[in-house]
Each structure stands twice: as structure tokens, then as C-alpha cells.
Amino acid sequence: MEKVISILRSHQIQPTPQRIATAKAVFDTRTHPSADEVWEKVKRDYPTVSRATVYNTLNLLVNKGVLKTQILREGKVVFDPCIEPHHHFIDDETGEIHDVPWDALQVKGEDSLKDYKVREYQVVMRGCKKKQ
């Protein structure tokens, strides 16, 4: 709670109750929620918060560099509180998105791409989780 407020303050974002609740909803999860999923979560605690405010807040957090968007699920942008580089694994059956640590994979050959200036990259994997 305190932590969320200080994150907002340190990015020059006024920590209003709506914004605190929205930010907390995204940070308090390992899932990669869509905007409407965040809204649902916020409404459980603060039923009067409007959809537009949640969308505005999420976009604000992205623009200020607090969150990143990922285009990994059909027809939906999802929000990722981890802004450090990492890879993604998407479960074919459940659609769940899992973060894969950056160091787990090494990509070689980037220098052969003479035509492109690569700003960022990630490996996107699809498959299923192994049963333990």
C-alpha cells in the first residue's frame, strides 16, 4: 500500500484512491490481467470506480513506465508489472501467460539482421505445462 503510493509519487502521478486501487490490483498478481480484469478486481473493493478511470490509469502507468503492455492474448492487451526484459510462455489450454527469466534463454545471430535496429526482443513460447 505504502509501496504503491511511493511508486506513483516517484513517477509524478498523484496517488488518488482510484489510482492506488488500480495499481495495487496489477501489482498484486502474477497473472497478466487485461484492463477489464483489472476493473473487475478494483470494483470488488471500490464498487463506484468507473471503467474509464481504470483504463485512464492503466494507460497513464504505461506512459510513465510503471507497467508494460504485452500483446499475447487474442483481442486483448494485457498489463505486466515486470518491466525488465523477460520472455513469455503461453499455455495452449488455459491461455495463462507465464514469465520466463531473461537468463533462461540466449538468442544469437542478431548481428545478421542488417536492416533492423532492434530496440527490444523476447522469445514467445506456446505449449503446455508439464504435469508434476
Show contacts with DNA in window 4-63 (CB under 7 A). Answer: 13-14, 16-19, 34-36, 48-53, 55-57, 59
Q: How far is CA 101 from the centre of its chain?
A: 15
Q: Does 44 bind its own copies (CB under 8 A)?
A: no
Show contacts with its own copies in window 72-131 (CB under 8 A). Answer: 72-77, 89, 92, 98, 100, 104-110, 112-130
Instruction: Determine contact, residues 59/23, Cβ cutoff 8 Å.
Output: no
- Would you say 31 or 50 has its CB closer to DNA? 50
- Would you say 27 or 55 has its CB closer to DNA? 55
Closest Cα to residue 26, out of 35, 14, 18? Answer: 35
Q: Does 51 bind its own copies (CB under 8 A)?
A: no
Q: How far are the Cα atoms of 20, 47, 119 from residue 83, in angstroms, in the given order?
A: 19, 29, 14
